[in-house]
Amino acid sequence: MASHGGPDPIFAAIEAHRRANEATNALLREHSDLEEKLPKEISQSRITAWEEKIVETDAPEWIASERALMAAHDAEIDAALELASVSPKTTAGAAAILAYAVEYPDRFGSDFPEFADDDGITRPFEHFIIQNCAAALAKLSAAA
């Protein structure tokens, strides 16, 4: 969908987030399969947002899987941040992001992360979507 200012960027942001989520889920499945296949003694490394604990005697494929999963998770968070910061430029874009925010938890089995606003207050992802849509719709109404 396009407005007078070009294509609505919200559609690209939705698609980027959807692809990032699908990539994370694919890596989660591979990681889970690897976890079942490898003995516990060679799959002890853990990489999280808070720490990286690498056990040098772990299987290289386990360590690589941990790193790939963390990178995919980071990419998904970045895509969610972008999605929360892009304002729709069309009513179709506003409808699309609102529908995606509602559909996402049920369809993908996870919730959006929470983010801090400009005042440092942590708010649910949906807060930013609603805020952006309200501003966009007010602007579109004024232009009509």
pLDDT one-digit tens code per residue, 1-46 = 444 567 999 999 999 999 999 999 999 999 999 999 999 999 999 9
| Helical spans, DSSP H, in the chain | 9-37, 60-85, 91-108, 125-143
**Per-residue confidence band for 108, with pLDDT thresholds at 50, 70 and 90:** low
φ, ψ (nearest 5 deg) of residue 7? -65, 150
Tokens encoding 113: 């992360």
pLDDT exceeds cutoff 90 at 126: no
3-state secondary structure of 118: coil
